[in-house]
Amino acid sequence: MEMLNQGLMEGLSSSQIGFYLNSTNLNNYSPPPLGTNHHHHQQQQQSDDLKPLNHNHSNYYLQSSFTLDHVTSTLTKAASREDDYLSVNYNLCRSAAWGEGTKGLFQLGGSKRSCNGEDDYPNYVGVSAVKMKKIKGRRKVREPRFCFKTMSDVDVLDDGYKWRKYGQKVVKNTLHPRSYYRCTQDNCRVKKRVERLAEDPRMVITSYEGRHVHSPSNDLDESQGGTQPQLNNFFW
DNA sequence: CGTTTTTGACCAGCGC
DNA sequence: GCGCTGGTCAAAAACG
């Protein structure tokens, strides 16, 4: 399967977050070195690795390589600087995962150029803002969220956790409904939603919100011989 | 019979 | 305020 990446936030509404990419051979994917192809977005050179994409949205992207350690340390710095909570969300592919801070989104990885040869965002993907709202002068507490995109015939990917569906909604301008799931573990309020990308129904968008208060509870007897595609080394 | 899914109702936020 | 949109509830149905 080819590495697919649209490089944009297509299909995401403003209330959604993140970008994502997944493929069959994610382990072999190494992002191209950054700083070599920034003609669409000429960046100010700074010492810091984390920079806002623009002033209004306070989003950030990483400018150097995407090792987990690097991402973690960089984002931790940013979080402390902004006196903010931060979820270091990261997925195996290292190519495009987003986390969310109070000031907006943090890109945790870059992306390869788009599959159709277009050269929109060679080394990283664009981002739209999710502004944290204030309610009665207080910042609304929002669980860390992130999402990713997978080419799959199956809607609900096996991520090692047990989910119960609690809703389904038809969203405008899309053919496929969006499904809402909640983690079945007691006291765990993690939610997840699944939908197909309107522009490319082969792609599944999986969004997570919150942190599990427990470890994955995948029943091995079922998953071993199961037919569901699994997301290995997936953590958040 | 306990658990999960379905599905319309309900509700909250937002733009006008 | 009003209507639109999307997220959640919950009762009933389906499931195993």
Kindly report, residue by residue over A113-132, the tens digit of the pLDDT.
Answer: 222 222 232 222 222 223 33
Task: Output A214 or A235, whichever has higher pLDDT.
Answer: A214
The whole-number Å distance from A181's CA to B12's C1' is: 20
Instruction: Let me know how long chain A is.
Output: 236
Which contiguous run of DSSP H or E holds residue A79? helix A68-81
pLDDT (mean) for A151-175: 86
Q: What is the separation of C-alpha A183 from the centre of its chain, rounded to a whole number of angstroms?
A: 18
Q: What per-residue confidence (pLDDT) applies to A164?
A: 95
The whole-number Å distance from A175's CA to C1's C1' is: 32
Percentage of chain A with pLDDT > 70?
A: 28
Mean pLDDT of chain A, nearest integer = 49
The whole-number Å distance from A206's CA to B10's C1' is: 26
Cα angle A134-A189-A206, degrees, rounded to a multiple of 5: 85
Q: What per-residue confidence (pLDDT) applies to A85?
A: 35
Tell which strand C nucleotides have any atom below 7 Å from a protein Cβ. 4-10
Which contiguous run of DSSP H or E holds residue A204? strand A203-209
The 10s digit of each residue's pLDDT in A20-66 is: 332 222 222 233 222 222 222 323 222 233 333 322 223 333 333 33
Residue A184: pLDDT over 80:
yes
Q: What per-residue confidence (pLDDT) applies to A126?
A: 26
Which contiguous run of DSSP H or E holds residue A221? helix A220-223
User: What residues are paired with A163 via a beta bridge?
Assistant: A183
Helix, strand, or coil (residue A195)? strand
Could you tell me the two tokens for A132?
């944290």
Tell which strand B nucleotides have any atom below 7 Å from a protein Cβ. 4-9, 13-14
Q: What is the separation of C-alpha A202 from the centre of its chain, rounded to a whole number of angstroms?
A: 18
Q: From residue A143, how far is each of A86, A140, A156 by CA, in Å? A: 10, 10, 21
Could you tell me the two tokens for A93?
């592919």
Which contiguous run of DSSP H or E holds residue A50? strand A50-52
Confidence band for A107, pLDDT divided at 50, 70 and 90: very low
Task: Output A152 or A38, whichever has higher pLDDT.
Answer: A152
Q: From residue A200, how far is each of A41, A131, A193, A197 by CA, in Å? A: 26, 27, 17, 5
Task: Output A67 or A184, whichever has higher pLDDT.
Answer: A184
The whole-number Å distance from A26's CA to C7's C1' is: 33
DSSP A4-37: ----S-TT--TT--------TTGGG--PPPTTS-
Terminal-residue alpha carbon distance, chain A: 25
User: What residues are paired with A220 via a beta bridge?
Assistant: none
Closest residue to C10 (CA to C1') is A166
Q: What per-residue confidence (pLDDT) applies to A156?
A: 83
Task: Output A98 or A166, whichever has higher pLDDT.
Answer: A166
CA atoms within 13 A on the CB side of A229: 13
Give yes or no for a contact between A111 and A5, defined as CB atoms under 8 angstroms apart. Answer: yes
Task: Output A43 or A184, whichever has higher pLDDT.
Answer: A184
Question: Cα–Cα distance between A229 and A154 in angstroms, integer?
Answer: 8
Strand B neighbours with CB under 7 A? A 133, 135, 162-169, 184
